[in-house]
Structure 1
Amino acid sequence: MLHKTRNLRRASAAASARAAVTARRPMMILGTATAALLGAALTAGLVSAPAAGAEQPDATAIVSAFVTGSELPTKNADTAAITMVEAREAVAAADALTDEVAESGLAIDPAVAPLDTTDLQDRIDALDDRAEMPVLVLAALTADSVTETEGVLADTEKLQAAFTAAQEQKAAADAAQAAAEQAAAEQAAQLASLAATNTVDGAKATAQQMAANQYGWGADQLSCLDSLWNKESGWNYQAYNDSSGATGIPQSLPGSKMASAGSDWETNAATQIAWGLGYISSVYGTPCSAWSHSQSTDWY
Protein backbone atom coordinates (compact mmCIF):
# COMPACT_ATOMS: atom_id res chain seq x y z
CA MET A 1 0.00 0.00 0.00
CA LEU A 2 2.81 2.42 0.93
CA HIS A 3 4.64 1.61 -2.31
CA LYS A 4 1.54 2.41 -4.37
CA THR A 5 0.97 5.70 -2.53
CA ARG A 6 4.60 6.76 -2.99
CA ASN A 7 4.43 6.01 -6.71
CA LEU A 8 1.17 7.91 -6.92
CA ARG A 9 2.67 11.00 -5.29
CA ARG A 10 5.77 10.87 -7.47
CA ALA A 11 3.70 10.55 -10.63
CA SER A 12 1.43 13.39 -9.50
CA ALA A 13 4.36 15.72 -8.81
CA ALA A 14 5.97 14.93 -12.12
CA ALA A 15 2.73 15.42 -14.03
CA SER A 16 2.13 18.82 -12.37
CA ALA A 17 5.59 20.03 -13.30
CA ARG A 18 5.18 18.69 -16.82
CA ALA A 19 1.82 20.46 -17.19
CA ALA A 20 3.37 23.84 -16.51
CA VAL A 21 5.98 23.30 -19.17
CA THR A 22 3.63 21.70 -21.69
CA ALA A 23 1.08 24.50 -21.38
CA ARG A 24 3.66 27.00 -22.60
CA ARG A 25 5.47 24.78 -25.08
CA PRO A 26 3.33 25.25 -28.25
CA MET A 27 3.91 29.05 -28.23
CA MET A 28 7.54 28.58 -27.19
CA ILE A 29 8.12 26.19 -30.07
CA LEU A 30 6.47 28.52 -32.56
CA GLY A 31 8.27 31.62 -31.25
CA THR A 32 11.67 29.94 -31.08
CA ALA A 33 11.31 28.38 -34.48
CA THR A 34 10.17 31.67 -36.00
CA ALA A 35 12.98 33.64 -34.42
CA ALA A 36 15.58 31.09 -35.40
CA LEU A 37 14.48 30.85 -39.00
CA LEU A 38 13.99 34.59 -39.40
CA GLY A 39 17.39 35.13 -37.88
CA ALA A 40 18.88 32.63 -40.24
CA ALA A 41 17.22 34.26 -43.19
CA LEU A 42 18.38 37.74 -42.21
CA THR A 43 21.89 36.53 -41.51
CA ALA A 44 22.02 34.88 -44.87
CA GLY A 45 20.89 38.11 -46.45
CA LEU A 46 23.56 40.14 -44.68
CA VAL A 47 26.41 37.78 -45.29
CA SER A 48 25.73 37.12 -48.92
CA ALA A 49 23.40 39.77 -50.28
CA PRO A 50 21.92 38.67 -53.57
CA ALA A 51 22.28 40.70 -56.66
CA ALA A 52 19.80 43.50 -57.30
CA GLY A 53 16.47 42.07 -58.38
CA ALA A 54 17.24 38.59 -57.07
CA GLU A 55 14.33 36.78 -55.34
CA GLN A 56 14.43 37.03 -51.45
CA PRO A 57 13.68 33.91 -49.28
CA ASP A 58 10.23 33.92 -47.64
CA ALA A 59 10.97 33.47 -43.88
CA THR A 60 7.26 33.14 -42.99
CA ALA A 61 6.83 30.35 -45.50
CA ILE A 62 9.87 28.57 -44.08
CA VAL A 63 8.49 28.73 -40.50
CA SER A 64 5.04 27.62 -41.61
CA ALA A 65 6.46 24.65 -43.46
CA PHE A 66 8.58 23.73 -40.44
CA VAL A 67 5.65 23.92 -37.95
CA THR A 68 3.04 22.16 -40.05
CA GLY A 69 5.33 19.61 -41.68
CA SER A 70 5.92 16.03 -40.70
CA GLU A 71 9.30 16.58 -38.98
CA LEU A 72 9.02 16.21 -35.18
CA PRO A 73 11.38 18.37 -33.07
CA THR A 74 13.33 16.34 -30.52
CA LYS A 75 12.17 18.26 -27.45
CA ASN A 76 8.50 17.93 -28.37
CA ALA A 77 8.97 14.21 -28.97
CA ASP A 78 10.64 13.82 -25.57
CA THR A 79 7.81 15.69 -23.84
CA ALA A 80 5.20 13.49 -25.51
CA ALA A 81 7.10 10.32 -24.59
CA ILE A 82 7.43 11.36 -20.93
CA THR A 83 3.77 12.33 -20.83
CA MET A 84 2.83 8.87 -22.13
CA VAL A 85 4.89 7.19 -19.40
CA GLU A 86 3.30 9.31 -16.68
CA ALA A 87 -0.17 8.73 -18.10
CA ARG A 88 0.34 4.97 -18.22
CA GLU A 89 1.57 4.97 -14.61
CA ALA A 90 -1.50 6.94 -13.55
CA VAL A 91 -3.80 4.48 -15.34
CA ALA A 92 -1.97 1.50 -13.81
CA ALA A 93 -2.22 2.99 -10.29
CA ALA A 94 -5.91 3.77 -10.75
CA ASP A 95 -6.72 0.31 -12.11
CA ALA A 96 -4.74 -1.43 -9.35
CA LEU A 97 -6.51 0.57 -6.63
CA THR A 98 -9.89 -0.08 -8.23
CA ASP A 99 -9.21 -3.83 -8.20
CA GLU A 100 -8.02 -3.73 -4.58
CA VAL A 101 -11.14 -1.87 -3.46
CA ALA A 102 -13.37 -4.34 -5.31
CA GLU A 103 -11.59 -7.34 -3.79
CA SER A 104 -11.85 -5.91 -0.26
CA GLY A 105 -15.63 -5.72 -0.42
CA LEU A 106 -15.53 -2.60 1.78
CA ALA A 107 -18.17 0.08 1.50
CA ILE A 108 -16.54 3.27 0.21
CA ASP A 109 -17.87 6.78 0.82
CA PRO A 110 -20.48 7.22 -1.93
CA ALA A 111 -19.35 10.82 -2.41
CA VAL A 112 -16.10 9.49 -3.93
CA ALA A 113 -16.65 8.76 -7.62
CA PRO A 114 -15.33 5.51 -9.13
CA LEU A 115 -12.16 5.93 -11.18
CA ASP A 116 -12.63 6.29 -14.94
CA THR A 117 -9.46 6.16 -17.02
CA THR A 118 -11.17 5.79 -20.40
CA ASP A 119 -10.41 9.32 -21.66
CA LEU A 120 -6.80 9.17 -20.53
CA GLN A 121 -6.33 5.79 -22.19
CA ASP A 122 -7.71 7.25 -25.43
CA ARG A 123 -5.08 9.98 -25.29
CA ILE A 124 -2.35 7.45 -24.61
CA ASP A 125 -3.47 5.52 -27.67
CA ALA A 126 -3.44 8.72 -29.73
CA LEU A 127 0.10 9.57 -28.56
CA ASP A 128 1.26 6.23 -29.92
CA ASP A 129 0.93 7.83 -33.38
CA ARG A 130 2.85 11.00 -32.41
CA ALA A 131 5.54 10.44 -35.05
CA GLU A 132 3.00 11.25 -37.77
CA MET A 133 1.50 14.34 -36.06
CA PRO A 134 2.17 17.97 -36.87
CA VAL A 135 3.98 19.75 -34.04
CA LEU A 136 1.07 21.93 -32.93
CA VAL A 137 -1.36 18.99 -32.87
CA LEU A 138 1.08 16.94 -30.83
CA ALA A 139 1.69 19.82 -28.42
CA ALA A 140 -2.04 20.26 -27.85
CA LEU A 141 -2.58 16.53 -27.37
CA THR A 142 0.35 16.35 -24.94
CA ALA A 143 -0.97 19.27 -22.87
CA ASP A 144 -4.44 17.72 -22.83
CA SER A 145 -2.96 14.38 -21.73
CA VAL A 146 -1.10 16.06 -18.86
CA THR A 147 -4.34 17.69 -17.68
CA GLU A 148 -6.21 14.38 -17.90
CA THR A 149 -3.38 12.60 -16.04
CA GLU A 150 -3.58 15.14 -13.21
CA GLY A 151 -7.32 14.55 -12.98
CA VAL A 152 -6.91 10.77 -12.76
CA LEU A 153 -4.18 11.15 -10.13
CA ALA A 154 -6.35 13.48 -8.06
CA ASP A 155 -9.32 11.11 -8.25
CA THR A 156 -7.03 8.19 -7.34
CA GLU A 157 -5.81 10.03 -4.25
CA LYS A 158 -9.40 10.69 -3.18
CA LEU A 159 -10.31 7.03 -3.62
CA GLN A 160 -7.17 5.98 -1.74
CA ALA A 161 -8.13 8.23 1.18
CA ALA A 162 -11.67 6.86 1.23
CA PHE A 163 -10.36 3.28 1.00
CA THR A 164 -7.95 3.86 3.88
CA ALA A 165 -10.76 5.32 5.98
CA ALA A 166 -12.94 2.27 5.23
CA GLN A 167 -10.08 -0.06 6.18
CA GLU A 168 -9.54 1.77 9.47
CA GLN A 169 -13.25 1.69 10.22
CA LYS A 170 -13.39 -2.05 9.58
CA ALA A 171 -10.30 -2.65 11.72
CA ALA A 172 -11.91 -0.70 14.58
CA ALA A 173 -15.15 -2.64 14.20
CA ASP A 174 -13.27 -5.95 14.12
CA ALA A 175 -11.32 -4.99 17.24
CA ALA A 176 -14.51 -3.99 19.04
CA GLN A 177 -16.18 -7.25 18.08
CA ALA A 178 -13.14 -9.27 19.21
CA ALA A 179 -13.11 -7.42 22.54
CA ALA A 180 -16.83 -8.05 23.01
CA GLU A 181 -16.43 -11.73 22.22
CA GLN A 182 -13.51 -12.02 24.63
CA ALA A 183 -15.49 -10.27 27.37
CA ALA A 184 -18.43 -12.59 26.75
CA ALA A 185 -16.15 -15.63 26.90
CA GLU A 186 -14.59 -14.45 30.15
CA GLN A 187 -18.00 -13.80 31.64
CA ALA A 188 -19.19 -17.25 30.61
CA ALA A 189 -16.09 -18.79 32.16
CA GLN A 190 -16.67 -16.87 35.38
CA LEU A 191 -20.29 -17.95 35.52
CA ALA A 192 -19.31 -21.55 34.90
CA SER A 193 -16.68 -21.35 37.62
CA LEU A 194 -19.14 -19.74 40.00
CA ALA A 195 -21.76 -22.38 39.27
CA ALA A 196 -19.22 -25.11 40.01
CA THR A 197 -18.05 -23.43 43.21
CA ASN A 198 -21.59 -22.97 44.46
CA THR A 199 -22.25 -26.71 44.50
CA VAL A 200 -21.57 -28.66 47.70
CA ASP A 201 -18.66 -30.52 46.16
CA GLY A 202 -17.32 -27.31 44.60
CA ALA A 203 -17.55 -25.45 47.90
CA LYS A 204 -15.68 -28.25 49.74
CA ALA A 205 -12.95 -28.30 47.09
CA THR A 206 -12.59 -24.51 47.32
CA ALA A 207 -12.41 -24.66 51.12
CA GLN A 208 -9.75 -27.38 51.00
CA GLN A 209 -7.60 -25.33 48.63
CA MET A 210 -7.95 -22.10 50.63
CA ALA A 211 -7.32 -23.85 53.96
CA ALA A 212 -4.14 -25.48 52.72
CA ASN A 213 -2.75 -22.51 50.78
CA GLN A 214 -3.61 -19.68 53.15
CA TYR A 215 -3.51 -21.35 56.57
CA GLY A 216 -1.52 -24.53 56.14
CA TRP A 217 -4.29 -26.72 57.52
CA GLY A 218 -4.04 -30.40 56.65
CA ALA A 219 -6.49 -33.29 56.37
CA ASP A 220 -7.26 -33.43 60.12
CA GLN A 221 -8.35 -29.80 60.22
CA LEU A 222 -10.29 -30.20 56.99
CA SER A 223 -12.20 -33.10 58.55
CA CYS A 224 -13.19 -30.86 61.48
CA LEU A 225 -14.16 -28.08 59.07
CA ASP A 226 -16.30 -30.48 57.07
CA SER A 227 -18.11 -31.60 60.22
CA LEU A 228 -18.58 -28.02 61.41
CA TRP A 229 -20.10 -26.63 58.24
CA ASN A 230 -22.12 -29.76 57.58
CA LYS A 231 -23.81 -29.06 60.87
CA GLU A 232 -24.18 -25.31 60.28
CA SER A 233 -25.39 -25.18 56.67
CA GLY A 234 -24.80 -28.44 54.86
CA TRP A 235 -22.33 -26.44 52.72
CA ASN A 236 -25.25 -24.59 51.13
CA TYR A 237 -24.28 -21.01 50.19
CA GLN A 238 -27.99 -20.04 50.25
CA ALA A 239 -28.60 -21.41 53.76
CA TYR A 240 -30.49 -19.01 56.04
CA ASN A 241 -31.57 -19.44 59.67
CA ASP A 242 -35.02 -17.90 60.04
CA SER A 243 -34.75 -17.62 63.81
CA SER A 244 -31.29 -16.06 64.09
CA GLY A 245 -30.66 -14.61 60.66
CA ALA A 246 -27.38 -16.51 60.28
CA THR A 247 -26.49 -16.75 56.59
CA GLY A 248 -24.48 -18.83 54.16
CA ILE A 249 -22.06 -21.73 54.51
CA PRO A 250 -20.33 -20.42 57.67
CA GLN A 251 -23.66 -19.07 59.07
CA SER A 252 -22.39 -15.55 59.52
CA LEU A 253 -24.51 -13.47 61.91
CA PRO A 254 -25.49 -11.17 60.37
CA GLY A 255 -24.71 -12.23 56.84
CA SER A 256 -23.53 -8.74 55.88
CA LYS A 257 -20.34 -9.34 57.88
CA MET A 258 -19.14 -11.40 54.94
CA ALA A 259 -19.02 -8.24 52.79
CA SER A 260 -15.53 -7.71 54.20
CA ALA A 261 -14.44 -10.65 52.02
CA GLY A 262 -16.26 -9.46 48.88
CA SER A 263 -19.34 -7.64 47.68
CA ASP A 264 -20.66 -10.84 46.08
CA TRP A 265 -20.97 -12.62 49.44
CA GLU A 266 -24.67 -13.38 48.84
CA THR A 267 -24.09 -15.25 45.57
CA ASN A 268 -20.55 -16.64 45.76
CA ALA A 269 -19.66 -19.60 47.96
CA ALA A 270 -15.95 -18.83 47.60
CA THR A 271 -16.45 -15.40 49.21
CA GLN A 272 -18.38 -16.95 52.11
CA ILE A 273 -15.68 -19.60 52.60
CA ALA A 274 -12.91 -16.99 52.57
CA TRP A 275 -14.69 -15.03 55.30
CA GLY A 276 -15.52 -18.19 57.32
CA LEU A 277 -11.94 -19.45 57.33
CA GLY A 278 -10.70 -16.05 58.38
CA TYR A 279 -13.23 -15.95 61.23
CA ILE A 280 -12.24 -19.43 62.48
CA SER A 281 -8.53 -18.55 62.34
CA SER A 282 -8.93 -15.28 64.25
CA VAL A 283 -11.39 -16.53 66.89
CA TYR A 284 -10.50 -20.22 67.41
CA GLY A 285 -7.17 -20.68 65.73
CA THR A 286 -8.13 -23.89 63.89
CA PRO A 287 -11.24 -25.62 62.53
CA CYS A 288 -10.89 -28.41 65.13
CA SER A 289 -11.00 -25.88 67.97
CA ALA A 290 -14.09 -24.29 66.43
CA TRP A 291 -15.68 -27.72 65.98
CA SER A 292 -14.96 -28.62 69.63
CA HIS A 293 -16.59 -25.38 70.80
CA SER A 294 -19.60 -26.04 68.57
CA GLN A 295 -20.03 -29.49 70.00
CA SER A 296 -20.02 -28.22 73.58
CA THR A 297 -22.15 -25.05 73.07
CA ASP A 298 -24.02 -25.76 69.82
CA TRP A 299 -22.60 -22.62 68.24
CA TYR A 300 -19.21 -21.26 67.30
Structure 2
Amino acid sequence: MSRISVRGFAVASATAVTTVGAVVGVASGSSQGSADPVEATAADATLLADISAGNHAQAQTASLTEQADAQSTAAEAEAKKSAEEAARKQAAKDAAAKKLAEEKKAAEAKAAKEREAELKAARSESRADASDFGVQSSYTVAEVQAMARQMVPGDQFQCFSNIVDHESSWNYRASNPSSGAYGLMQALPGSKMSSAGADWQTNPATQIKWGLGYMSDRYGGPCGAWEFWQANNWY
Protein backbone atom coordinates (compact mmCIF):
# COMPACT_ATOMS: atom_id res chain seq x y z
CA MET A 1 0.00 0.00 0.00
CA SER A 2 1.43 3.42 -0.99
CA ARG A 3 1.73 6.43 1.28
CA ILE A 4 -1.16 8.18 -0.48
CA SER A 5 -3.57 5.23 -0.20
CA VAL A 6 -2.71 4.65 3.49
CA ARG A 7 -3.19 8.29 4.37
CA GLY A 8 -6.46 8.36 2.40
CA PHE A 9 -7.68 5.40 4.37
CA ALA A 10 -6.78 7.19 7.61
CA VAL A 11 -8.69 10.33 6.64
CA ALA A 12 -11.71 8.31 5.54
CA SER A 13 -11.72 6.36 8.80
CA ALA A 14 -11.50 9.51 10.91
CA THR A 15 -14.31 11.14 8.94
CA ALA A 16 -16.49 8.09 9.34
CA VAL A 17 -15.94 7.99 13.10
CA THR A 18 -16.69 11.70 13.45
CA THR A 19 -19.88 11.32 11.44
CA VAL A 20 -21.03 8.36 13.50
CA GLY A 21 -20.32 10.26 16.71
CA ALA A 22 -22.25 13.28 15.52
CA VAL A 23 -25.26 11.22 14.48
CA VAL A 24 -25.30 9.31 17.72
CA GLY A 25 -24.92 12.54 19.70
CA VAL A 26 -27.83 14.19 17.90
CA ALA A 27 -29.99 11.16 18.37
CA SER A 28 -29.12 10.99 22.02
CA GLY A 29 -29.73 14.70 22.55
CA SER A 30 -33.06 14.74 20.76
CA SER A 31 -34.48 11.94 22.86
CA GLN A 32 -32.87 12.90 26.14
CA GLY A 33 -35.93 14.48 27.54
CA SER A 34 -38.19 11.50 26.94
CA ALA A 35 -35.78 8.51 27.33
CA ASP A 36 -35.49 6.75 30.60
CA PRO A 37 -32.18 6.45 32.48
CA VAL A 38 -31.53 2.90 31.23
CA GLU A 39 -31.88 3.91 27.59
CA ALA A 40 -29.66 6.96 28.15
CA THR A 41 -26.99 4.82 29.73
CA ALA A 42 -27.11 2.37 26.79
CA ALA A 43 -26.85 5.22 24.30
CA ASP A 44 -23.87 6.66 26.12
CA ALA A 45 -22.17 3.27 26.13
CA THR A 46 -22.75 2.90 22.40
CA LEU A 47 -21.29 6.35 21.75
CA LEU A 48 -18.20 5.56 23.82
CA ALA A 49 -17.76 2.27 21.99
CA ASP A 50 -17.97 4.03 18.62
CA ILE A 51 -15.44 6.64 19.71
CA SER A 52 -13.09 3.93 20.98
CA ALA A 53 -13.38 2.04 17.70
CA GLY A 54 -12.65 5.23 15.77
CA ASN A 55 -9.58 5.95 17.86
CA HIS A 56 -8.38 2.40 17.30
CA ALA A 57 -8.83 2.76 13.53
CA GLN A 58 -6.93 6.03 13.57
CA ALA A 59 -4.11 4.38 15.52
CA GLN A 60 -3.94 1.51 13.02
CA THR A 61 -3.91 3.96 10.12
CA ALA A 62 -1.09 5.93 11.70
CA SER A 63 0.85 2.71 12.25
CA LEU A 64 0.39 1.67 8.61
CA THR A 65 1.53 5.10 7.47
CA GLU A 66 4.64 4.89 9.61
CA GLN A 67 5.38 1.41 8.25
CA ALA A 68 4.94 2.61 4.68
CA ASP A 69 7.25 5.57 5.34
CA ALA A 70 9.86 3.29 6.90
CA GLN A 71 9.68 0.84 3.99
CA SER A 72 9.95 3.65 1.45
CA THR A 73 12.95 5.14 3.26
CA ALA A 74 14.63 1.74 3.44
CA ALA A 75 13.99 1.12 -0.27
CA GLU A 76 15.46 4.50 -1.20
CA ALA A 77 18.51 3.85 0.97
CA GLU A 78 19.01 0.43 -0.62
CA ALA A 79 18.66 1.86 -4.13
CA LYS A 80 21.19 4.58 -3.31
CA LYS A 81 23.57 2.01 -1.87
CA SER A 82 23.24 -0.20 -4.97
CA ALA A 83 23.85 2.76 -7.28
CA GLU A 84 26.95 3.79 -5.33
CA GLU A 85 28.29 0.23 -5.40
CA ALA A 86 27.70 -0.04 -9.16
CA ALA A 87 29.47 3.29 -9.69
CA ARG A 88 32.40 2.14 -7.55
CA LYS A 89 32.76 -1.10 -9.51
CA GLN A 90 32.57 0.72 -12.85
CA ALA A 91 35.19 3.23 -11.73
CA ALA A 92 37.49 0.38 -10.67
CA LYS A 93 36.91 -1.37 -13.99
CA ASP A 94 37.67 1.80 -15.96
CA ALA A 95 40.82 2.42 -13.92
CA ALA A 96 42.03 -1.14 -14.54
CA ALA A 97 41.37 -0.85 -18.29
CA LYS A 98 43.21 2.47 -18.44
CA LYS A 99 46.18 1.04 -16.56
CA LEU A 100 46.29 -1.99 -18.87
CA ALA A 101 46.21 0.24 -21.96
CA GLU A 102 49.02 2.40 -20.58
CA GLU A 103 51.12 -0.66 -19.75
CA LYS A 104 50.55 -2.08 -23.24
CA LYS A 105 51.52 1.21 -24.84
CA ALA A 106 54.66 1.42 -22.72
CA ALA A 107 55.60 -2.17 -23.58
CA GLU A 108 55.12 -1.53 -27.31
CA ALA A 109 57.22 1.62 -27.12
CA LYS A 110 59.95 -0.26 -25.26
CA ALA A 111 59.91 -3.10 -27.79
CA ALA A 112 60.12 -0.65 -30.69
CA LYS A 113 63.03 1.14 -29.04
CA GLU A 114 64.87 -2.12 -28.43
CA ARG A 115 64.28 -3.23 -32.00
CA GLU A 116 65.61 0.05 -33.33
CA ALA A 117 68.69 -0.31 -31.15
CA GLU A 118 69.23 -3.84 -32.43
CA LEU A 119 68.89 -2.71 -36.03
CA LYS A 120 71.29 0.14 -35.44
CA ALA A 121 73.81 -2.20 -33.83
CA ALA A 122 73.40 -4.68 -36.67
CA ARG A 123 74.05 -1.99 -39.25
CA SER A 124 77.15 -0.83 -37.42
CA GLU A 125 78.67 -4.31 -37.31
CA SER A 126 81.82 -4.76 -39.30
CA ARG A 127 80.68 -6.86 -42.24
CA ALA A 128 82.37 -7.91 -45.45
CA ASP A 129 81.93 -5.65 -48.47
CA ALA A 130 81.47 -6.66 -52.10
CA SER A 131 85.03 -5.59 -52.81
CA ASP A 132 86.33 -8.17 -50.33
CA PHE A 133 85.52 -11.04 -52.68
CA GLY A 134 87.54 -12.05 -55.69
CA VAL A 135 85.87 -11.96 -59.08
CA GLN A 136 85.01 -15.33 -60.60
CA SER A 137 83.53 -16.37 -63.91
CA SER A 138 80.68 -18.14 -62.12
CA TYR A 139 79.42 -18.90 -58.62
CA THR A 140 77.58 -21.82 -57.08
CA VAL A 141 74.56 -21.34 -54.85
CA ALA A 142 76.67 -22.32 -51.84
CA GLU A 143 79.29 -19.70 -52.72
CA VAL A 144 76.66 -17.00 -53.14
CA GLN A 145 75.08 -17.90 -49.81
CA ALA A 146 78.51 -17.82 -48.13
CA MET A 147 79.02 -14.29 -49.46
CA ALA A 148 75.63 -13.25 -48.12
CA ARG A 149 76.39 -14.66 -44.67
CA GLN A 150 79.52 -12.52 -44.50
CA MET A 151 77.79 -9.38 -45.76
CA VAL A 152 74.34 -9.55 -44.11
CA PRO A 153 74.06 -8.91 -40.32
CA GLY A 154 73.59 -12.21 -38.50
CA ASP A 155 70.17 -11.41 -37.03
CA GLN A 156 68.92 -10.32 -40.47
CA PHE A 157 70.29 -13.13 -42.59
CA GLN A 158 67.29 -15.46 -42.37
CA CYS A 159 64.94 -12.70 -43.50
CA PHE A 160 67.30 -11.83 -46.35
CA SER A 161 67.52 -15.51 -47.31
CA ASN A 162 63.73 -15.89 -47.30
CA ILE A 163 63.35 -13.06 -49.80
CA VAL A 164 66.09 -14.36 -52.10
CA ASP A 165 64.61 -17.87 -51.93
CA HIS A 166 61.28 -16.55 -53.19
CA GLU A 167 62.64 -14.08 -55.72
CA SER A 168 65.40 -16.03 -57.47
CA SER A 169 66.21 -19.26 -55.60
CA TRP A 170 69.73 -17.80 -55.16
CA ASN A 171 70.33 -17.59 -58.92
CA TYR A 172 72.30 -14.38 -59.41
CA ARG A 173 71.63 -14.54 -63.17
CA ALA A 174 67.86 -15.01 -62.81
CA SER A 175 66.03 -12.86 -65.34
CA ASN A 176 62.36 -12.11 -65.87
CA PRO A 177 61.92 -11.38 -69.59
CA SER A 178 58.42 -9.97 -69.19
CA SER A 179 59.22 -7.43 -66.47
CA GLY A 180 62.96 -6.92 -66.78
CA ALA A 181 63.62 -7.90 -63.15
CA TYR A 182 67.10 -9.34 -62.64
CA GLY A 183 69.42 -11.01 -60.16
CA LEU A 184 69.18 -12.38 -56.63
CA MET A 185 66.75 -9.70 -55.46
CA GLN A 186 64.97 -9.38 -58.83
CA ALA A 187 65.69 -5.67 -58.96
CA LEU A 188 63.31 -3.91 -61.34
CA PRO A 189 64.84 -2.86 -63.58
CA GLY A 190 68.06 -4.77 -63.03
CA SER A 191 70.13 -1.74 -64.01
CA LYS A 192 69.23 -0.20 -60.63
CA MET A 193 72.01 -2.31 -59.15
CA SER A 194 74.63 -0.38 -61.11
CA SER A 195 74.65 2.05 -58.16
CA ALA A 196 76.45 -0.70 -56.21
CA GLY A 197 78.89 -1.64 -58.97
CA ALA A 198 79.34 -1.84 -62.71
CA ASP A 199 79.54 -5.64 -62.53
CA TRP A 200 75.98 -5.99 -61.17
CA GLN A 201 75.05 -8.53 -63.88
CA THR A 202 77.81 -11.01 -63.06
CA ASN A 203 78.87 -10.42 -59.46
CA PRO A 204 76.53 -11.71 -56.73
CA ALA A 205 78.41 -9.70 -54.08
CA THR A 206 77.48 -6.49 -55.91
CA GLN A 207 73.85 -7.60 -56.02
CA ILE A 208 73.87 -8.44 -52.30
CA LYS A 209 75.37 -5.04 -51.51
CA TRP A 210 72.66 -3.30 -53.51
CA GLY A 211 69.91 -5.47 -51.97
CA LEU A 212 71.03 -4.67 -48.42
CA GLY A 213 71.06 -0.96 -49.15
CA TYR A 214 67.60 -1.08 -50.73
CA MET A 215 66.06 -3.08 -47.86
CA SER A 216 67.63 -0.87 -45.20
CA ASP A 217 66.60 2.39 -46.86
CA ARG A 218 63.03 1.34 -47.57
CA TYR A 219 62.15 -1.07 -44.75
CA GLY A 220 64.79 -0.59 -42.08
CA GLY A 221 66.52 -3.86 -42.95
CA PRO A 222 65.92 -7.34 -44.43
CA CYS A 223 63.46 -8.35 -41.69
CA GLY A 224 61.33 -5.28 -42.32
CA ALA A 225 61.41 -6.10 -46.03
CA TRP A 226 60.47 -9.73 -45.35
CA GLU A 227 57.55 -8.68 -43.17
CA PHE A 228 56.26 -6.50 -46.01
CA TRP A 229 56.87 -9.26 -48.55
CA GLN A 230 54.75 -11.73 -46.58
CA ALA A 231 51.83 -9.31 -46.58
CA ASN A 232 52.12 -8.29 -50.24
CA ASN A 233 54.17 -10.94 -52.09
CA TRP A 234 56.57 -8.25 -53.26
CA TYR A 235 58.86 -5.72 -51.63
Provide the TM-score with structure 2 as the length reference: 0.45
Find the structure with the greater CA-based Rg.
2
TM-score where L is the length of structure 1: 0.37
Instruction: Name the structure, 1 or 2, with higher relative contact order (CA <8 Å, separation 6+).
Output: 1
